Amino acid sequence: MVLTVLKSASKKVVNYPEEDIDVISAKQWFSQLCTDPFIRITRYIMSVFPVLTWIHRYNIGWLAGDLIAGLTVGIVAVPVGMSFAQIAILPPEFGLYSAFVGESIYFTLQLFATSKDVSIGPVAIMSLTMAGITQSVQQAHPGTWDNPTIASAVALLSGFIGLGIGFFRLGWLVEFIPMAAVSGFMTGSAINIAASQAPGLMGITGFDTRATTYRVIINTLKGLPRTSLDAAWGLPGLCALYMFRYLSAWATRKFPRRARLFFFINVLRISFVILVLTIAAWLYCRRRRTPAGDFPIKILQDVPAGLKHVRSPHIDAELISAIAPHLPIATIILFLEHIAIAKSFGRMNGYKINPSQELICIGVANTIGSCFGAYPVTGSFAYSALKSKSGVRTPLAGIFTAAVVITALYALTSAFYWIPKAVLSAVIIHAVADLVASPEEVFNYWRISPLEFLIWLAAVLITVFSSVENGIYASVAASLGLLLIRIAHPRNSFLGKMSVRPENDPEEETRVVFVPIDKSGLDNTNVKVLSPSSGVIVYKFEESCVYPNCAIASSALVDYVRENMRRGKDLSTVSLRDRPWNDSGSRRSSTLEQALNEKKPDLHAIVLDFSSVSHIDTTGTQSLIDARTEIERWMDHPVEFYFAGILSPWIRRALVSGRFGYGASGSRIPRDVAEIATSAGDERLPNDTSPNAKDLEKGDDKTKAEDGVEYVEPSGSQWEPIMSQETPFFHLDLHSAVRAAESGLDRSVDLHVQVNAVDEA
């Protein structure tokens, strides 16, 4: 479909019938899209069940690795799950429910999942977000629902959102949130969590630990004189956790042959510290109850055994309306953290994940988990790193983790009674400290992109001084704003020629490359850059020509022509009443002005490098039409527009719709041609030694390419043009486009006369 506005905007171009131009049509595009629907459906179903690509190769060696990794993660998941439930303002058993359901369901969903390393369960940042959602709903509707009911409803609704995004293959939406924004809100959240757990570590009470982070830090410092006996368990526990970590790392470097042993010692540090301090709490507290039945320190006390809260989640319209304002932040954190972790371990271990598939897994895990009383779960960086380092081989390791958690739920809950809460606070602080970005990482943000560093800093500060929700919203909004600014203000440049050759080979033939005329981006600014032939402009687009940026690009081209090219009509001879109101020509004829204008070259051709352009829309096409109209009005004659590097049929279609690409070309050089493949044997590689390769004894010739590699050219080869003969202004590369533009300079005057005559006819 050709837009009327594009037809009417083009002038002084030979009127070639558009249907004769060989460009893709909308009908052809849709027919290509719908080709072999059965094959497309089959591929979609296979992509939904990636387990089929590896389950038939499962073996005993893989089973051993999965068993060790699964048990290792399970031992850590039990205490950490209870600790994170404390952050979410939920009873500790709900952390175990979430850990069990997350691992067991994710194991089942390995029919769908694409990552072997990711471990799903309760995580610190989601627990903190869940606490904020619960508090907000309880303040708006006091006493209407209890905290577990709210948490299960959030899990159900966010799970349905994940399912919808995954099944519709919209996982790419997560890519709009950059690494700096993710790191910023995770760092701010880690500081937030650590600050909220510090009072519990020290046994300090008397203020709201869920307040803004900076207020909690101030109140904690003010409350240091009120430190209680809980600190005798919390501080040694925190110190012991770090001591085990650093001693294990030192011993690994000192005795590398025992690295596996020290790794498992490091893994078991959390369980060991909790076990020792729990025994100490039991020995100290069992005979020291107050008359009111309280203990000298805060302990976990009763943890119900088994899955006591298996039921359908309570959901009603009022609860949905109360939760709805908080669902965006919950789903963003769930999906973003999981995809970021899955991609990270995929890069480390050499496999590729499918974001949409992972979102399906997260969606189903949370949807089903809500029936077990679980609160929202997602990929855990700590669990995933532990699983990866433990030697996990396939995604089936999750079933062993789930077995450990369910065993603890049914057999060890009586032992959980004496766990000091200060020790759980130590575990939480120790866990979230790894989420804080390292100084090296932050410095890299500054070196790579100072603007992204500012986004990271803003995310941290807003999270600390406001809330996690505001921090992630601000960082995502700032990142999208930066993306739009970069799209709207691309770095386009006018190009010149530079001759280059290898440094130590003066006999090697020189070649021509095109670089910015102003030498921007060149390390050595002393090199000689020549402008194209007089009357030719080479302009490079470095971004897609779309509505946010096309006006800037076309304005730069028009301004360059006005400043550097000769004006076609002397307006000093035109009466004032016949001039445009915005024309800046002299009122009287000026000899100096005429002389300066005559010294400027007469523009005949513009070469547009579209090698970096992946898309052009209606506004971009109209902008090019307007630029051509303005330039030809200034020059007072037609100007040829050559295009280089266009491989997209839709870009060619758009340009032809704007009356670009076809017409009578002034070029003298023949079009580029390439050898056509007449059989499978013609598709040859450099120095081909296969039986199909030709040699000189069979009448073949050897030729050398520019890189010096010998290619065999069969006698009688067939050569055909690369680009359509009907669009002589479209060229495969910039070099051929510039040659074509320069070759027709001496014929341009005659061509202008012919075109004007056709237009008048």
690 — pLDDT class (breaks 50, 70, 90): very low
% of the chain residues with pLDDT over 90: 35
Give 565-619 as a DSSP string: S--SS-GGGS-GGGS-TT----SS--HHHHHHHHHSPPP-EEEEE-TT---B-HH
Q: Which residues pair with 643 in a beta bridge?
A: 608, 730
Q: Is the pLDDT of residue 703 over 50?
A: no
270: CB partners within 8 A, 6+ apart:
76, 79, 80, 241, 427, 430
Summarize the confidence of residues 183-202 as an average pLDDT: 91
Is the whole-model pTM more than 0.75? yes
Poorest-confidence range of 36-45, 62-71, 458-467? 36-45
Summarize the confidence of residues 282-302 as an average pLDDT: 85
What is the distance between the alpha carbons of residues 640 and 645, in angstroms, rounded to a whole number? 17
pLDDT, position 214:
92
Phi, psi of 352 (to 5 degrees): -115, 135
pLDDT, position 53:
62
pLDDT, position 217:
94
pLDDT, position 28:
61
Q: Which of 514, 288, 554, 281 is nearest to 418 (CA)?
A: 281
Summarize the confidence of residues 105-122 as an average pLDDT: 70
Q: In Å, how far are 214, 684, 694, 709 from 689, measured between CA atoms?
A: 71, 10, 9, 14
Q: Which residues in 707-726 are b (16+ Cβ under 10 Å) and which e? A: eeeeebebeeeeeeeebeee
Q: How many residues does the chain have?
A: 761
Q: Which of 354, 376, 450 is nearest to 161 (CA)?
A: 376
Q: How many other C-beta atoms are found inside a 10 Å radius of the C-beta of residue 483? A: 12
Q: Are 50 and 112 in contact (CB under 8 A)?
A: yes
What is the distance between the alpha carbons of residues 457 and 464, in angstroms, rounded to a whole number? 11
Give 23-47 as a DSSP string: ---HHHHHHHHTSSHHHHHHHHHHH
Poorest-confidence range of 464-478, 526-540, 598-612, 697-711? 697-711
Residue type, 183: S
Summarize the confidence of residues 594-603 as an average pLDDT: 84
DSSP letter for 378, please.
E
H or E stretch at 674:
strand 673-675
pLDDT, position 226:
92
689 — pLDDT class (breaks 50, 70, 90): very low
Question: What are 279's two structure tokens?
Answer: 């025994």
Question: What are 283's two structure tokens?
Answer: 């020995």
pLDDT, position 68:
84
Q: Which of 178, 168, 242 is nearest to 478 (CA)?
A: 178
758 — pLDDT class (breaks 50, 70, 90): very low
pLDDT, position 448:
92
Summarize the confidence of residues 648-670 as an average pLDDT: 88
Q: Which of 607, 622, 605 is nearest to 657 (CA)?
A: 622
Q: Is the pLDDT of residue 198 over 90?
A: yes
Residue type, 105: I
- Which of 468-482, 518-532, 619-633 has the highest average model confidence (pLDDT)? 619-633
Summarize the confidence of residues 119-125 as an average pLDDT: 86
DSSP letter for 723, please.
S
Looking at per-residue pLDDT, the higher value among 385 and 733 belongs to 733
What is the distance between the alpha carbons of residues 411 and 306, in angstroms, rounded to a whole number? 8
pLDDT, position 111:
55
Question: What are 474's two structure tokens?
Answer: 């601000």
What is the distance between the alpha carbons of residues 741 and 729, in angstroms, rounded to a whole number? 9
Q: Is the pLDDT of residue 436 over 70?
A: yes
Phi, psi of 710 (to 5 degrees): -80, 135
Phi, psi of 728 (to 5 degrees): -70, -10
